[in-house]
């Protein structure tokens, strides 16, 4: 058994080493680091909208919580609960998870424990999110009478989007301006829903085979990209309205509205074979670029 796992590890390593820079990006993505960066970007973008700055501890808590939660979803408490569609769509990730499932579960606990510790120290209210996120993902993937919440069209992406926005609200640390918080939350909801749709493109054949209805396997890839761009534009329009109402500086609304659209258009025109990791990195790049522009 050990020899089989060792030879397989060497095989995976050889494949990754022969395809730089994805040699590092792929296994890092398998361990949910990129989606953790995405969650951090959601909270950071919200901070830029609310206060004009990125809340450091909130960003870190969001990242740690999301990494731990996604690892829980990918490895599950029991091997029989692992989503077969995920294993089919991402076989290398599934193999990596199964090389040492106990180690992956321990890693998830470490990330969540770190997030909980930081929450207690800096943002006590965030502990609700740290506890609720892994519990929610277990319910999200639980099969009841043959159907899971994640198998339902629109519901799958809506749950991801709402969860990210709820996390942002708990980590925001600034509820004084509820109207601006509402605009920021709606903007982020549209962005996360759009990116969740795009992440389903890689999985569309496996999802269809195992009964998970997603926007890419129902309406097609082109329609998914178009819907994502429309949602990005809708988010930008919300920020312009908020700026017009005097809730945030116009420059902030323009920059944080335009750069996510630009990032989506670049990725769409590039059209790589697999896009999930790139989608996870798209918003972080746009938010960091926006932050640098706002500093000037």
Return the C-alpha torsion angle 269, 272, 273, 276, nearest 10. Answer: -100
Q: Cβ(35)–Cβ(25) under 8 Å? A: no
> Which pTM does this prediction carry?
0.88
Classified as helix, coil or strand, 19 is coil
What is the pLDDT, as a whole number, of residue 263? 97
What is the pLDDT, as a whole number, of residue 50? 92
pLDDT tens, per residue, the chain with 296 residues: 333 333 443 344 444 334 445 556 677 888 899 999 999 999 999 999 998 887 899 999 999 999 999 999 888 766 556 667 677 777 788 787 888 888 999 999 999 999 999 999 999 999 999 999 999 887 766 666 566 777 788 888 999 999 999 999 999 866 788 999 999 999 999 999 999 999 999 989 888 888 888 999 999 999 999 999 999 999 999 999 999 999 999 999 999 999 999 999 999 999 888 899 999 999 999 999 999 999 98
What is the pLDDT, as a whole number, of residue 1? 39
Q: Domain ranges in the chain?
A: 29-295
How confident is the model over 218-268, as pLDDT tens digits?
999 999 999 999 999 999 999 999 999 999 999 999 999 999 999 999 999
Q: Interior CA angle at 184 toward 129 and 268, to 5°?
A: 95
Question: Would you state the structure tokens that stand for residue 151, as one six-digit string?
Answer: 């198998």
Q: Interior CA angle at 202 toward 197 and 206, to 5°?
A: 105
What CA–CA distances, in Å, run from 16 to 12, 19, 107? 6, 5, 22
What is the pLDDT, as a whole number, of residue 207? 81
Cis geometry, peptide bond prior to residue 21 (ω within 30 degrees of 0)? yes
What is the pLDDT, as a whole number, of residue 226? 97
């Amino acid at each position: 058994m050990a020899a089989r796992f060792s030879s397989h590890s060497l095989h995976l390593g050889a494949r990754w080493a022969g395809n730089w820079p994805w040699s590092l990006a792929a296994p890092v993505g398998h361990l949910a680091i990129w989606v953790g960066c995405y969650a951090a970007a959601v909270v950071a973008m919200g901070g830029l909208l609310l206060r004009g700055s990125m809340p450091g501890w909130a960003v870190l808590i969001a990242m740690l919580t999301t990494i731990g939660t996604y690892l829980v979803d990918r490895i599950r408490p029991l091997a029989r609960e692992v989503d077969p569609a995920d294993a089919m769509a991402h076989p290398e990730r599934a193999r990596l998870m199964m090389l040492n499932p106990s180690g992956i579960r321990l890693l998830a606990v470490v990330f969540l424990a770190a997030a909980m510790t930081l929450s207690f120290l800096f943002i006590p209210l965030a502990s609700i999110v740290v506890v609720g996120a892994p519990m929610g993902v277990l319910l999200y993937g639980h099969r009841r009478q043959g159907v899971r919440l994640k198998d339902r069209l629109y519901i799958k992406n809506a749950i991801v989007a709402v969860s990210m926005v709820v996390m942002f609200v708990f980590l925001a640390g600034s509820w004084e301006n509820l109207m601006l918080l509402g605009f920021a939350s709606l903007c982020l909801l549209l962005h996360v829903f759009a990116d969740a749709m795009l992440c389903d493109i890689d999985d569309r054949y496996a999802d269809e085979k195992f009964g998970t209805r997603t926007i890419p396997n129902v309406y097609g890839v082109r329609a998914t990209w178009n819907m994502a761009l429309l949602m990005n534009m809708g988010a930008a329009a919300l920020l312009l309205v908020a700026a017009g109402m005097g809730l945030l500086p116009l420059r902030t609304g323009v920059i944080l509205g335009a750069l996510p659209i630009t990032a989506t258009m670049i990725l769409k025109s590039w059209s790589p074979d697999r896009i999930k990791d790139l989608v996870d990195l798209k918003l972080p790049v746009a938010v960091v670029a926006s932050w640098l522009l706002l500093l000037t």
